[in-house]
Chains A and B, each alone.
Chain A
Amino acid sequence: MTQLNLEQGCLPGTSGSTPIFRAEGLALHFDDGRTRALDGIDIEVDEGEFVAIVGASGCGKSTLLNLIGALDTPTTGERYFRDRPYSAMKDLADFRRQHIGFVFQSFHLIPTLGVLDNVLVPTIGAQGPAAGYRERALELLERLGLADRLRHFPATLSGGERQRAAIARALINAPDLLLADEPTGSLDSANAAQVLDLLSEVRRERGLTIIMVTHDAGVSSRADRLVPLRDGKLDQSAEVAR
């Protein structure tokens, strides 16, 4: 059972070892500080942990996920990946490519590409043999039950299939950290359960760390730990570790 570190106001991980991700005093302000999307976020996530960021709509969940994924730059505060500050990283694109996998609520597949090509998109322009990536993409799609959908365009797939294709794309570069923004938000309950089962399996198989944003209590119940947000701040009183 994880205890809240109330002295430091920080939500620690569960293992006590070096966290895979850590943030200190993270804030994101707009309009010269009049709008505070996030304010004073301190958080730690351990290797292999499955964390759900929960909260009402507009509380800053996706904004926090974007900051963790280096898609946005905080107004103040620092983020660390395995104790390495993001601000010291020369190339955040490389960081995203090598360490982060993204799964979005609306899938964000490229509509004009087939499933296999969508999965291969993150490898374009990357170092490494094209044949190796292709082999890996085929393995992933086979594993995710899309082997017979390689040439299908996203518009011809069901919601569940699209999200599985997006998960395959997120895993193509063998990331350490999977960031999922409402991954079941556009799915019916059966497909949502299937996707969550899949994420759990992938996490177990690959020792993946998952940070997921959701407002669905049923979905968040799959996580090891809940990180609640309210009005851009951590709601430490509501943090739950399982």
Chain B
Amino acid sequence: MTLFEFALHNLRQRPARSLLTAMAVALGVAAAVALTGIASGFEASWQKANDARGTDLIVTRLASTNAMPSPFRAEPLQNQLRGYPKVRDVVGLLSEMLSVDASAPPLFVFGWTHDSYLWQHLKLVAGRWPANADEPVVVIGVVTAELLHKKVGDMLEIEGRRMPVVGVFESSAAIENGAVLMTLDQAQQTTDKPGKVNVLNVKLDPAATTTDVDAIKARIRVEMPGFIAITSGELVGQNTVVRIAKAMSNATTLIASLVGILIVFNTMLMSVNERTREIGILLALGWHRRTVIQLVCGEAALLTLAGGIAGVLVGVGLTWQLEHLDLLRGKIDANFPLSFLLMMPILAMLVGVCGGLYPAMKASRLAPSHALRQE
């Protein structure tokens, strides 16, 4: 019999307590996995959407870190930027989270300059694109179509304005699949923000180097006070929503770890107190104190490892369920890097060892002769 087998055997002897402890750990891990997966997916989805559009630089308000930066008048900056070397195109984008249908949750509504490069990464699966900038029509993502049960020819009411659906598209970015798209002019009219955009998308010459990008960024900072040019990665990184989501997932992981330590501490302390005589026997039979510590910490680590593995599975499953809720469909695209999924059970094991350490030390310090007299 090995120490591992003995530890496993001891856990099996108290099935209800072991199961409850593992379940508590699993719940904590599941919450941390789900939140981290959603936060990571949210960030990745925004990044993917920006990358898919082929934008090299995004010009936005300097202080803006919101998911949708506050709008500004596009024309003066747009004209100025078009005169910069290596700049091939400058396209305005207006986005809002709007109520599209009384029975449906709010959706992202994007307005893009008609005939700009932004439309090129989308794949039309039904209908057509808006014919011109002034046509009051919308195209919808595949998830939006499914969610709202709309098809080409149906009407959508956006902010009290009825507009026909003329096309359904598919994007590589989940956030766009769950959105409604119209021309920039129509979006400005719908939201009552004429001439305004949230960001300007700048496309550079393919030959532009990093030095060119840095030079443009520096020039914008000097020549356009109050504005900043950043890459899509930087924009996503600075995004308040992404940062809050990340902070929440980190806080959840931390709280789950602390709660896990306390739960394991309580379970193992109870177990050690009940097994005083058994531990005395082990010490009398020549067990080292460090072997007793290894046994108790090993039991704690096995418990939390089981909870950690179950928690990862539950967390991934829970997130999958959330992704398919009508309220969140198309808005979250959870992302679970393999390294993160592997790290969680290891973190859970560490939690187990931390929680089991004091009970293990207490057990190892028992005087064998005294412990043997315990009933």
> In the assembled complex, how far is the CB of residue B3 from the closest CB belonging to chain A, in whole angstroms?
5
> In the assembled complex, how far is the CB of residue B138 from the closest CB belonging to chain A, in whole angstroms?
69
How far is it, in angstroms, between the C-alpha of A171 and the C-alpha of B35 when the chains are bound?
Answer: 56
Q: Which residues of A contact B278 (CB under 8 A)?
A: 110
Contact among A108, A112, A121 for B13, CB-based, below 8 A: A112
Closest to A137 in B: B1
Contact among A71, A100, A117, A125 for B3, CB-based, below 8 A: A125
- Asked whether A121 lies within 8 Å of B284 as measured between CB atoms, the reply is no
Q: Which residues of A contact B221 (CB under 8 A)?
A: none
- Asked whether B288 lies within 8 Å of A125 as measured between CB atoms, the reply is yes
Q: Does A130 sit at the interface, judged by CB under 8 A?
A: yes
Q: Which residues of A contact B283 (CB under 8 A)?
A: 71, 93
Contact among A72, A93, A98 for B288, CB-based, below 8 A: A93
Q: Does B210 sit at the interface, judged by CB under 8 A?
A: no
Q: Does A21 sit at the interface, judged by CB under 8 A?
A: no
Given A117-B1, A125-B291, CB of A97 within 8 Å of CB of B286: yes
Contact among A91, A108, A120, A125 for B294, CB-based, below 8 A: A125
Our count of residue pairs bridging A and B at CB distance below 8 angstroms stands at: 68
Interface string of B186-226 (1 = CB under 8 A from A): 00000000000000000000000000000000000000000
- Asked whether B372 lies within 8 Å of A122 as measured between CB atoms, the reply is no
- Asked whether B288 lies within 8 Å of A112 as measured between CB atoms, the reply is no
> In the assembled complex, how far is the CB of residue B50 from the closest CB belonging to chain A, in whole angstroms?
57
How far is it, in angstroms, between the C-alpha of A55 and the C-alpha of B118 when the chains are bound?
Answer: 99
How far is it, in angstroms, between the C-alpha of A97 and the C-alpha of B6 when the chains are bound?
Answer: 18
Residues of B280-299 whose CB lies within 8 A of A: 281-289, 291, 294
How far is it, in angstroms, between the C-alpha of A102 and the C-alpha of B368 when the chains are bound?
Answer: 12
- Asked whether B3 lies within 8 Å of A124 as measured between CB atoms, the reply is yes
Residues of A106-137 whose CB lies within 8 A of B: 108, 110, 112-113, 117, 120-126, 130
Q: Which residues of B contact A121 (CB under 8 A)?
A: 1, 6, 281-282, 285
How far is it, in angstroms, between the C-alpha of A98 and the C-alpha of B285 when the chains are bound?
Answer: 10
Contact among A94, A113, A169 for B285, CB-based, below 8 A: A169
- Asked whether A96 lies within 8 Å of B286 as measured between CB atoms, the reply is yes
Closest to A101 in B: B285
- Asked whether A94 lies within 8 Å of B1 as measured between CB atoms, the reply is no
> In the assembled complex, how far is the CB of residue A202 from the closest CB belonging to chain B, in whole angstroms?
18
How far is it, in angstroms, between the C-alpha of A169 and the C-alpha of B284 when the chains are bound?
Answer: 12
Residues of A64-115 whose CB lies within 8 A of B: 66, 69, 71-72, 91, 93-94, 96-98, 100, 102, 104, 108, 110, 112-113
Given A110-B278, A113-B9, A130-B2, CB of A124 within 8 Å of CB of B368: no
- Asked whether B369 lies within 8 Å of A72 as measured between CB atoms, the reply is yes
Interface string of A137-154 (1 = CB under 8 A from B): 000000000000000000
> In the assembled complex, how far is the CB of residue A211 from the closest CB belonging to chain B, in whole angstroms?
15
Given A112-B13, A117-B1, CB of A93 within 8 Å of CB of B367: no
How far is it, in angstroms, between the C-alpha of A66 and the C-alpha of B371 when the chains are bound?
Answer: 12
> In the assembled complex, how far is the CB of residue B368 from the closest CB belonging to chain A, in whole angstroms?
5
How far is it, in angstroms, between the C-alpha of A179 and the C-alpha of B288 when the chains are bound?
Answer: 19
> In the assembled complex, how far is the CB of residue A145 from the closest CB belonging to chain B, in whole angstroms?
22
Q: Does A14 sit at the interface, judged by CB under 8 A?
A: no
Residues of B1-60 whose CB lies within 8 A of A: 1-3, 6, 9-10, 13
- Asked whether A125 lies within 8 Å of B287 as measured between CB atoms, the reply is yes
Closest to B7 in A: A124
Q: Which residues of A contact B285 (CB under 8 A)?
A: 96-97, 102, 121-122, 169
Contact among B286, B287, B367 for A98, CB-based, below 8 A: B286
- Asked whether A94 lies within 8 Å of B286 as measured between CB atoms, the reply is yes
How far is it, in angstroms, between the C-alpha of A108 and the C-alpha of B280 when the chains are bound?
Answer: 10
- Asked whether B287 lies within 8 Å of A71 as measured between CB atoms, the reply is no
Q: Which residues of B contact A97 (CB under 8 A)?
A: 285-287
> In the assembled complex, how far is the CB of residue A165 from the closest CB belonging to chain B, in whole angstroms?
13
Which of B278, B289, B368 has the most C-beta atoms of chain A within 10 angstroms of its own C-beta?
B368
Q: Does A173 sit at the interface, judged by CB under 8 A?
A: yes
> In the assembled complex, how far is the CB of residue A5 from the closest CB belonging to chain B, in whole angstroms?
29
Residues of B342-375 whose CB lies within 8 A of A: 367-369, 372
- Asked whether B284 lies within 8 Å of A102 as measured between CB atoms, the reply is yes
- Asked whether A72 lies within 8 Å of B367 as measured between CB atoms, the reply is yes
Q: Which residues of B contact A130 (CB under 8 A)?
A: 1-2
Which of A72, A94, A125 has the most C-beta atoms of chain B within 10 angstroms of its own C-beta?
A125
- Asked whether B287 lies within 8 Å of A93 as measured between CB atoms, the reply is yes
Given A72-B369, A125-B294, CB of A173 within 8 Å of CB of B2: no
How far is it, in angstroms, between the C-alpha of A13 and the C-alpha of B312 when the chains are bound?
Answer: 66
- Asked whether B372 lies within 8 Å of A124 as measured between CB atoms, the reply is no
Closest to B12 in A: A112
- Asked whether A93 lies within 8 Å of B9 as measured between CB atoms, the reply is no
Contact among A93, A96, A104, A173 for B289, CB-based, below 8 A: A93
Residues of A201-223 whose CB lies within 8 A of B: none
22 inter-chain pairs at a CB distance below 8 angstroms, sorted by A residue, are: A66-B369, A69-B284, A71-B368, A71-B369, A72-B367, A72-B369, A93-B283, A93-B288, A96-B285, A96-B286, A97-B285, A108-B284, A112-B10, A113-B9, A117-B9, A121-B1, A122-B286, A123-B1, A124-B287, A124-B291, A125-B3, A125-B294
Given contact pairs A93-B288, A102-B284, enumerate 20 new A-B contacts (beta carbons under 8 Å).
A69-B284, A71-B283, A71-B367, A71-B368, A71-B372, A72-B369, A93-B283, A93-B289, A94-B286, A98-B286, A100-B286, A108-B277, A110-B281, A112-B9, A113-B1, A113-B9, A117-B9, A124-B291, A125-B287, A169-B285
8 smallest CB-CB distances across A and B, nearest first, come from: A97-B286, A125-B291, A122-B285, A96-B286, A71-B369, A66-B369, A71-B368, A93-B288
